[in-house]
Structure formats: C-alpha cells, structure tokens
Amino acid sequence: MKQAGIVWDNHACLPLRDIDDWLPSLSRYRDVGVDVVTINIGDSLVPLETLIRTAASIRHFVHANPDKYLMGLTPADLRAAKASGRLAVCLDVEGVQALGEQVSLVEFLYEIGVRWMLMAYNRRNLAASGCHDPLDEGLTALGRRILGEMDRVGMIKCCSHTGYRTAREILDSTDRPVIFSHSNPRRLRDHPRNIPDDLIKACAATGGVIGINGVGLFLGDGPPTAAAIVRNIDYVVQLVGAEHAGLGLDYMFRSSELNEPGRGNQEVWPPEWGYGRGSGFAPPEVIPEVIAGLEGLGYPADSVRLVLGENLVRVAEAVWR
C-alpha cells in the first residue's frame, strides 16, 4: 500500500566494482514503494578516484532514465520523486579517509550529490576515531575543520561507525540535526557498532534521526528479520519518540564483495566481533513487512509516516543548502 509520506532508505551499498551492471537493481526500491534511497560511494578503504567514478556512474544512470529516477539534491526533489512515482537517489560517504587533509573536497562531494558523510569508518583516521579503536581519541583539529565545512555547504553529519567519544564531541558541538544513518541500540545487541542510550538521546536532542539497519550481525543471532528491525525501531521510539527513528537498512547488493581482495580487512572488520560469518542483510523487500510490524504494534499512521522517511526529510530541510 502506498504511503502518504516519503519512504526513505537512508543507506544502501551497490558493488563498487562493476557498478554499472548493478544499477538497474535500484528498481527494487521503486517496486516496494520506496521514494528515496541513499547510496554509499565508498568507505575508508576506498580511494578518492573510486568515490568519484562511482558517483559518476550513478549520476549517469539516473540522468539516462529520467522517467524512473532523479538525483535527490534538494528537499523539493524528494517531493517531486514521490509525486511522479520516481526514485530519488542521494549519495553518501562512509568516512573522510579519502579526503586526506584537503577540506575543500567536502564542497566538491556535496556538489556531486553527497548529502551525508561520517567521520571515521570503524578505525582511526586523520580526523576522528572509529568504533573499533581500542582508544577513542575524539576529533582532531582537522576533523573539526571538516565538520565546519560540512555545516557551511549543507552536508549532514553522520556518527555511525565512529567511536563513542568522537560521536559525543560531534553531537556536543553542533547546532544542526545530526544522524546515526545506520546504527542500532546497543541495549538490544551488545556490539560496538551499535550505540548506547546516551548517544541515542543526544542525537535526538539535536533534532536528528537514528536509522535502524537490517544487518543480522547488529540485530541479533540468526538471519535479519522484519520483526528484529521493528523491535529496534520501537526501542528508539520508546526512548526518544517517533520523531527520531528512521531506516538505513545497509543492504549490500553483493555481500561477497567484503571478501574480495582489499575489502576483507580484519583490522577494519575484526573477526572477534563476528564479521565474516555471513549473518546477512535485510533487502529492501523487507520494508512492507516492517510497515506491517509497526502497524501491528498499534503505531498510528502519522508515526509510521515519520519513521519511514518524513523524519529524514525534516533533517534534510534543516541542513541541506
């Protein structure tokens, strides 16, 4: 059933190799009623050239199929996508590693469609610490300059994958909504990629959104299910309200990519925390089941609408330029 508000999956991962072969798979989002999807163009192991080439492939595909897709560069684009039955496509970057010390690249990335970026992907870089660092040293001076530039150009700050101290420093230093694009409550699953209640509350206090992911490893034991996703959404809603929950499923269209040369880095994905055991990723087709699960808990239509995407639209309206 078509939803009254915008439905937005705020994080998905197409293969970075052979991406052109996989771009038609974006139709899966349209088929299940999603209006907006944010596509990752690289994490900390991906060089700048790959980020740019991936963005170029996505943009070319979108522009070549204007009857089905459009780039989501403004909140008006998102509304237009829904009204016309198209899928708006946004871009994200997981970690600032590829920037080096060149802060001016933030503006360039924004211009090509990147609408959120996180500071560190699991491990320390020149700007910040990650969630798997034994010592979280927080933001560096470079990290603070990057955050300031993100504010200037209108890019949303994301705290997924960052260390807890780093996340707190970001949340404490902002006057704009911040997101955890794809992070689950640690109270429900004890894993350092998940986040404690104080960070959930601090994110909500900025006006931000916690996007629940569909990664089995971060949801619990066994394959990911709609019921597990709903349980995590409901936890956030009970803690900070329906105004601060969302979706960032983190679906990997080709999960075997993590095992390819250069991608299965055990420092970035420590095996002692369960990486590499094939826990699975919930696909976009799970979203109708998530909607049914929320309705089954008695969520009113307005709350379902907020969680499915309108919360993220509110953040975009507050931050994007």
Q: CA nearest 11: which of 92, 107, 104, 126?
A: 92
248 and 9 Cβ atoms separated by less than 8 Å? yes
Q: How far apart are CA 75 and CA 136, in angstroms?
A: 35
**Looking at 209-223, 247-261, 295-309, which range is the least confident one?**
247-261
Q: CA nearest 155: which of 188, 192, 110?
A: 110
Q: How confident is the model at residue 267 (pLDDT cuts 50, 70, 90)?
A: confident
Residue 256 confidence (pLDDT) above 80: no
Q: Which domains does the chain have, with CATH numbers?
A: 8-319 (3.20.20.140)
Number of other CB atoms surrounding residue 101 within 10 Å: 11
Q: CA nearest 140: which of 94, 99, 108?
A: 99
Q: CA nearest 213: which of 4, 9, 3, 7?
A: 9
Start-to-end CA distance of the chain, whole Å, equals: 32
Token pair belonging to 29: 């989002």
117 and 157 Cβ atoms separated by less than 8 Å? yes
- The one-character DSSP state at 306 is I
The reported pLDDT for the residue numbered 273 is: 81
173 and 145 Cβ atoms separated by less than 8 Å? no
Q: How confident is the model at residue 254 (pLDDT cuts 50, 70, 90)?
A: confident
Residue 226 confidence (pLDDT) above 90: yes
For 190-212, the pLDDT digits (tens) are 999 999 999 999 999 999 999 99
